[in-house]
Structure 1
């Protein structure tokens, strides 16, 4: 049995609430997924399973579960996961059936007939089961600078079934937007529709993708319309709601002939009180159009405030959903994408204002089960520290680093943040330089979430990964050395270079396991393919011609992709890097990088990146030469880069760059050297760096500023947590183990802070 727990959220009870979770398993633990069930007490609840990763022997490594949970009002609740109970199915399963060249989704509460291949919009009809449609869902559509309208046109391939139920159904279609006035097409799209057993609502992810040949495209509006059906003409009840934390509940009702509207922009939000960790929750934004006798429909924009600008306008005839509001154009550079999430709730005519609002809030802050951390440890996903051995000031430092990052509201910025230092260095040419998930923030958050079970760390991971796979990756480029690549930190996200030292994949793979969204896996594989194309260029062929940092990060990504897919092509490219490291060391006696045309020097930070990536390769292929390379590199690093009288390492070997460097990435490398040799000198050399990294972690920032379409809440650069967390954690864990084994480190390492 595996324990899972829901924390207290809603003050209302939820019956058979759709929930999602991902569970990792140790090699060989689970092979038969038909005997996996979520248990409420001793009762198996309806559960749907899907394998997202396997071990080399074919057993399940990651299992995605959708299940229906009865959750109490104003209280948490414990469940369990059994791997020895026949999986239960819902009383009213969601089904998808082929009809007239397309599909119909039936949840038991609603029916959605999807648009046929070559058709416009998403739905031919959407209605309550047993009723006629009360409203038509039209679009989405785009508008350009010339006021030309473009409707989304489903491609000839039509819809692809991703999940067929019985708890959740998911389908996907692709296409381009077709002009109404002339036979032209503009901007690609991908749309996914999700439906749930017994439930009267759908979730829609609508991704706009810029694969146009020009350098940028300006979208002057993107809209979805919900219109009263012809037999109703005018709905007698229109409602609009903005519900925020605390007592801020600006809900309005109107009647035929009236209009309700609201637009969120960065300028509006700058003046609002915001105290939530907004990756988790910032309120809701919805509009409703209904007829007392026939029923109605509510549209909720997911995280509308964070993804501003957004708007809603409702009259007796229609709801206009401003995915990109008219009057607030958005510029998308070539290769960019952006996903917009909406919820459509089809209900009967007596749904109250409060009931509509509560359901909308539930969409925004869904119930999320948390696994016991031991499950991640048993599966080898994380290394844990027993609760009775943790050190309170170290744990506080982790929390402050995770929470104290700079965060940004704005459609193309949410999930990312600018870096003040990079900007001050002039790297953006006067514009803010965006971090672009440098050092893989989602993967660091995944480890912290798995260790602690704190919901907000999960949400930090989700938002950063969603931004990354949309905005920071080139979904299209005519240059094969940029196509599919992750762009390094730059102005406007995608104006920078694509280099193998700034391409990561592990956080995207984490996101894929946690959600089942194949777009994240596809993005990770695309990045890997880009790395392989770059490795084939002359730049990466000569010993010492590049820094250890560049090929070190590439090695880490290639190893992660091999572990995920078991495809040997990733290891073939990784082998090239490892052989390169070996030849490089033989040529210079150490990993030395070129500088100023006449010097080769040690860059400790970059050497440690290479060591940390080599260790991941060693876990795949435990060869003696890899172990020796790691030990030799760290012996050389401590001998030449450690400034003994300060207890710290310098930045680079050149006299012009020999200032002290407090970056803790070396702590992970020193830990590996200790594990291979048992020599405490490696851990002792990292003590001051460890202590300073934790003690100087800052809390959440208080200042905010508007920059164009972005509202920035200042804190530390996001790259700091992404880069610092795991090396500090691994060293922390290693010194605790070393103390237990030797008894020699306690006085030095723990005098500055008490144990829990």
Structure 2
């Protein structure tokens, strides 16, 4: 297997220099691949990026691409490779389109030269600054200091300046806890490193790294697109405080706005729900006792200069209050309030209220938007000094109005001081507890913002258009048919209802997806740390998910809901599934994983608090769930998180993972029998989770070190006496090989349900390792076979392992056995003929909710994956009539 050439994105873009516009014939426009907008053609696009897969051997790695439409238009596009196949051909490519105020319809991606953008985005670097010019905006970024954006200019005029990251740190969450002395300090983000990751001509990406005056490490990426009058901002931070004394009480992005207009020509806007707007001037002219004139009133309402005022108002303008400060605070998912005051030292006045604000504020031509605003409450938008020469606009990712954030562990230990007592807790609440291991140290959160610098106050209609971008940024995608033809991301097929049995399965897939699409709203699964996750288990007595019961609360990727959602999107192309999967990936890859500290690279098992469980697991942080979002969107932050996992196997030297299952065998102590370079490692939930990161890095870079590490692990696993049935063994971190003993059967029902089946499908398609394939197929066939009359757990789920073996071996009898296992409902659902929700209302619940058989995240995720993969692998052997469902025990 030969070495692949490694080329950076900047080198690729340079080698694929864009040329002047070329005409496109009608025949050419029909070639290539159709691109589609997830939520319909946007009327305005500030720039967009997508990933596209390619069948092995069909595109060279350095292929040059163009985007055309059916009318002969050729659009500027910037392209770069995301991944390659083992033969060096292109596997995934990324493509960026510049800003457009015209609808971009019927786009196709094809090989060929792209046109040059009319206004290319450029970068100039000096020892002190980086200057980015989109052709409309000019941004100056300092390399160090407390300002990350010195100035943003348009047409030679400074529209805003002094971009800063601000945080508030408090010594206690409540006044009573400190005896009446609650202290708060303001911290400012200090830039330590500035990197140009992509240098145009359609897209420029600048990465900013630093800390908030000694705490909260941050990474901010600024995205600039050719011809854009906006900047996309992706802000990530890591919590590195002591949760018992460091209480985050505010986290925001702030800009200073120079102002010269008369106070009555300074316009404030907040976007409410749907198309609603709060629109006022700093000094209002309407509703006065004296009329300033119809034209003046109309102009002010429309956000235009008022013009000449009636004399009886003009002479007394200074007697009209000027409202310099405005705040919109969204402290819950169901309510926001707008207040204003004239200036500090004077009372706030209630201005308006509503349910769900859209997260957009405008002061004149400066428009700042925070995505998922109400979903990730408490959030806040501030204008300060609107009546002065230098106002500030702040988007608070965590709202100061909410009070300090309390991240302390939710109980006092409940008397669990010994391992035996911890086992008792695990037995009754399913929570792994060990004192000090439920810390949030090292968890992270990423937020997305948009900043516009317009020439004037936007019209109400245009502000609504910008608000829609903030709510749902335009996302391009390729069709499910193309994704499937490329042969990427596991075993799946397109929906097929051609027979009654297939229809029944497809209908139940839709039903379970609909269940989880509805639950966040019904259960209010929203909030700064919570949005994107789902709950693990349901309490039918309370008609409530077990949000307060130990290890039954937040799912934290347990049994692969992320994988189920992403695979469902691949085969359907549905925007609602994409958005749910996107929110889950943003959450689970950041909040459920420790990024620094002693648990770095490991995720926390499901718990009342996302980081609360003492069982730290690679199965939660696995790259298997993140790869989808990275490849479909080319998201740089997700790319960072994937790369952060490459060496997390070394963490096993100091953290022995797993649940407390055996008295006297605390899982938190390393094995003293291991040499310093060796650890005990399980195959399914550990090695496969790590292998997903190594596979991704090999694909991304072509670096054969990671291929060789995969092969070493596969060969040595295949050489173990019992292979996969051994459950794992001693692992050498230096060589990447299992060194034994592997001679005792130790099978966990969890080994294959955290992406291992999907990973092995990809590995065995890419690498020829006969001994590993034999060990894996042996396990797939053996797992659901009779074992002394006692079946192993999750039999329904593992039907897809049987199906994989049947497909690989061409074994009809094995395929028929797999369908029997699937329809058995063992530790799952079976297939239901009646798919309905029962609505629960009245005093039995706080709010109306819907219940159905699908309220188990484990069962829904695993049934969904089994259904999808069985249809893809052995669909031709599906029974013509639907067997009667016989649900078995619901197991873990």
Q: Same fold (TM over 0.5)?
A: yes
Q: Does 1:498 align with 2:616?
A: yes
Q: Name the CA distance, whole Å, in 2 between partners of 1:45 and 1:449.
A: 27
Asked if the contact 2:505/2:867 (under 8 Å) is kept, the reply is: no
Q: Name the CA distance, whole Å, in 1 between partners of 2:716 and 2:224.
A: 50
Q: Does 1:372 align with 2:479?
A: yes
Distance 1:79 1:211, change over 3 A: same
1:327 counterpart SS class = helix
> Could you tell me which residue of structure 2 aligns to residue 384 of structure 1?
493
Distance 1:440 1:572, change over 3 A: same
Distance 1:194 1:718, change over 3 A: farther
Asked if the contact 1:243/1:357 (under 8 Å) is kept, the reply is: no
Q: Name the CA distance, whole Å, in 2 between partners of 1:544 and 1:607.
A: 21
Asked if the contact 2:714/2:772 (under 8 Å) is kept, the reply is: no
**Alpha-carbon shift at residue 466 of structure 1 (Å):** 1.3
Asked if the contact 2:133/2:139 (under 8 Å) is kept, the reply is: yes
Q: Does 1:53 align with 2:83?
A: yes
Q: Deviations over 1:150-204 (max 9, x none)?
A: 111111x3x21122122222101111112xxxxxx22211111112211211111
Q: How many pairs were matched up?
A: 687
Q: Deviations over 1:537-563 (max 9, x none)?
A: 649989999876445644753663465
Q: Does 1:208 align with 2:233?
A: no
Asked if the contact 1:33/1:49 (under 8 Å) is kept, the reply is: no
The one of 858, 863, 867 equivalent to 1:728 is 867
Q: Name the CA distance, whole Å, in 1 between partners of 2:258 and 2:772.
A: 68
Asked if the contact 2:536/2:545 (under 8 Å) is kept, the reply is: no
Distance 1:112 1:590, change over 3 A: closer
Calculate the TM-score normalised by the size of structure 2: 0.68
Q: Does 1:363 align with 2:462?
A: no
1:443-592, aligned counterparts within 5 Å? 443-477=563-597, 479=598, 482-496=599-613, 497-534=615-652, 538=671, 549-551=684-686, 553-554=688-689, 557=692, 560-561=695-696, 563-564=698-699, 565=701, 566-569=703-706, 571-572=708-709, 575-576=712-713, 579-580=716-717, 582-585=719-722, 591=726
> Could you tell me which residue of structure 1 aligns to residue 161 of structure 2?
136
1:11-50, aligned counterparts within 5 Å? 13-14=43-44, 18-31=47-60, 33=62, 35-41=64-70, 42-50=72-80
2:400 counterpart SS class = coil
Q: Name the CA distance, whole Å, in 1 between partners of 2:38 and 2:761.
A: 37
Q: Name the CA distance, whole Å, in 2 between partners of 1:702 and 1:154.
A: 52
Q: Name the CA distance, whole Å, in 2 between partners of 1:58 and 1:490.
A: 43
Asked if the contact 1:109/1:200 (under 8 Å) is kept, the reply is: yes
1:255-334, aligned counterparts within 5 Å? 255-256=282-283, 257-258=322-323, 259-266=325-332, 268-269=334-335, 284-290=358-364, 296-314=365-383, 316-317=386-387, 318=391, 319-328=393-402, 329-331=404-406, 333-334=440-441
The one of 603, 609, 628 equivalent to 2:774 is 628
**Alpha-carbon shift at residue 636 of structure 1 (Å):** 3.5
Asked if the contact 2:124/2:132 (under 8 Å) is kept, the reply is: yes
1:437 counterpart SS class = coil
Asked if the contact 1:668/1:730 (under 8 Å) is kept, the reply is: yes
Calculate the TM-score normalised by the size of structure 1: 0.80
**Alpha-carbon shift at residue 66 of structure 1 (Å):** 0.9
1:628-647, aligned counterparts within 5 Å? 628-641=774-787
1:395-434, aligned counterparts within 5 Å? 395-405=506-516, 406-407=519-520, 408-420=525-537, 433-434=553-554
**Alpha-carbon shift at residue 207 of structure 1 (Å):** 1.7
Between structure 1 and structure 2, the one with the greater Rg is: 2
Distance 1:678 1:103, change over 3 A: closer
**Alpha-carbon shift at residue 703 of structure 1 (Å):** 7.9
Q: CA RMSD in A?
A: 4.1
Q: Does 1:154 align with 2:274?
A: no
**Alpha-carbon shift at residue 305 of structure 1 (Å):** 0.7
Q: Name the CA distance, whole Å, in 2 between partners of 1:487 and 1:199.
A: 40
Q: Name the CA distance, whole Å, in 2 between partners of 1:699 and 1:540.
A: 55
> Could you tell me which residue of structure 2 aligns to residue 658 of structure 1?
none
> Could you tell me which residue of structure 2 aligns to residue 737 of structure 1?
876
Distance 1:499 1:236, change over 3 A: same
Distance 1:563 1:417, change over 3 A: same
Q: Deviations over 1:78-131 (max 9, x none)?
A: 221111x211121011112125611122112222111x2332122111122232
Asked if the contact 1:528/1:557 (under 8 Å) is kept, the reply is: no
1:263 counterpart SS class = strand
Consecutive unaligned residues in structure 1, runs of 5 or more: 179-184, 272-281, 291-295, 644-648, 653-660, 705-710, 740-744
Distance 1:117 1:539, change over 3 A: same
Q: Name the CA distance, whole Å, in 2 between partners of 1:540 and 1:22.
A: 46
1:307 counterpart SS class = coil
> Could you tell me which residue of structure 1 aligns to residue 663 of structure 2?
none
Q: Deviations over 1:507-545 (max 9, x none)?
A: 222222223233323322333421354289649989999
Asked if the contact 1:300/1:360 (under 8 Å) is kept, the reply is: yes
Distance 1:572 1:213, change over 3 A: farther
Asked if the contact 1:109/1:199 (under 8 Å) is kept, the reply is: yes
Asked if the contact 1:286/1:360 (under 8 Å) is kept, the reply is: yes
> Could you tell me which residue of structure 2 aligns to residue 240 of structure 1?
269
